């Protein structure tokens, strides 16, 4: 059983991560530049507009617009949520530990994606630092959780069927959405592929290689009432709320720049955020 000093050290590490994320996201929001753009043609012959100033310069204008929306959500919602959990985390609260891991998983995904997607720039090292420290913190916190006893601590109110359904639906939706875009790219439809100057599909690789398998495994484990299902569900549901909400913010930000809203995507991820929030409340009340 970890002692009080361990909880304090874990909370301190999470506090450092929160500050680093806040500074990095703030740079994306407030130093994003004037919005000036110039035309470019990728090596594949795809025409697109790229940002010419700010910390995200040399990236496609659409990508920058989405990134700023993501940064706004991270700065004003995700970071405060982690900071508010620190006092309970310092006392070793199980709920606070699981909640923190969910937010850390969100930071890990966001900044791993940023590090390998954004054009090289002044925030490259902060991106790497955030996802590296988040991974360390996740491993440290999970090592303090006795997975075999989670099932004993969770009551019969744990929404295992609802959690399983959410995981399967998200996995299926991401797979269908990204395979369609991949197929468009392989068929030579550059507009449908939306590479926007990138040489490959980073987001699709991360989602299909990390998020989808994790969602399917979590859904199966939760459905079968396995102890690991309780751990993963409490983590995945927090990340699902954060990611779905961040995607909605991204779509709104892109709408403000392009004047066109992806209504279908906004409706789907908005519904996913609400469903995840509802299941998250039920999950944490069951512990």
For CA atoms 135, 138, 140, 143, the dihedral sign is: negative
- Looking at 38-52, 139-153, 211-225, which range is the least confident one? 139-153
Tens digits of residue pLDDT in 106-147: 999 999 999 999 999 999 999 999 999 999 999 999 999 888
Query: What's the structural domain count of the chain?
Result: 1
Provide the Cα torsion 111, 113, 265, 215; round to 10°. Answer: -90
Helix axes 227-258, 212-223, angle to 10 degrees: 140
* Beta strands 37-41; 47-51: pairing state: antiparallel
Q: Which residues pair with 50 in a beta bridge?
A: 38, 60
Q: What is the mean pLDDT of residues 249-277?
A: 89
d(CA 252, CA 259): 10
Range of the domain at 226: 4-286
pTM beyond cutoff 0.75: yes
Any idea what DSSP says for residue 76? I
pLDDT of residue 225: 83
Do residues 249 and 73 make contact, with C-beta atoms less than 8 angstroms apart? yes
> With contact defined as beta carbons under 8 Å apart, do 145 and 92 qualify?
no
Strand positions, DSSP E, the chain:
37-41, 47-51
């Amino acid at each position: 059983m970890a002692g009080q000093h361990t909880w304090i050290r874990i909370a301190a590490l999470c506090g450092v991560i929160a500050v680093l994320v806040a500074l990095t996201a703030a740079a994306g929001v407030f130093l994003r530049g004037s919005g000036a753009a110039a035309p470019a043609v990728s090596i594949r012959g795809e025409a697109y507009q790229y940002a010419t100033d700010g910390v995200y310069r040399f990236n496609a204008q659409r990508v920058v617009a989405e990134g700023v929306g993501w940064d706004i959500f991270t700065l004003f919602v995700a970071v405060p949520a982690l900071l508010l959990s620190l006092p309970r985390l310092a006392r070793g609260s199980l709920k606070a530990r699981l909640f923190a891991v969910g937010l850390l998983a969100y930071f890990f995904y966001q900044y791993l994606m940023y590090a390998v997607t954004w054009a090289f720039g002044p925030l490259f090292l902060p991106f790497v630092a955030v996802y590296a420290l988040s991974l360390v913190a996740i491993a440290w916190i999970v090592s303090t959780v006795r997975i075999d006893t989670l099932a004993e601590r969770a009551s019969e109110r744990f929404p295992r069927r609802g959690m399983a359904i959410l995981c399967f639906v998200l996995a299926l939706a991401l797979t269908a959405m990204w395979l369609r875009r991949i197929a468009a790219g392989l068929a030579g439809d550059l507009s449908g592929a939306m590479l926007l100057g990138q040489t490959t599909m980073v987001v699709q690789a991360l989602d299909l290689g990390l998020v989808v398998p994790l969602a399917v495994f979590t859904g199966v484990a939760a459905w079968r009432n396995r102890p690991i299902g309780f751990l993963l569900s409490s983590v995945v549901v927090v990340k699902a709320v954060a990611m779905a909400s961040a995607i909605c913010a991204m779509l709104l930000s892109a709408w403000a720049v392009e004047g066109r809203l992806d209504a279908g995507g906004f409706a789907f991820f908005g519904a996913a955020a609400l469903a995840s929030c509802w299941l998250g409340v039920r999950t944490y009340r069951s512990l």
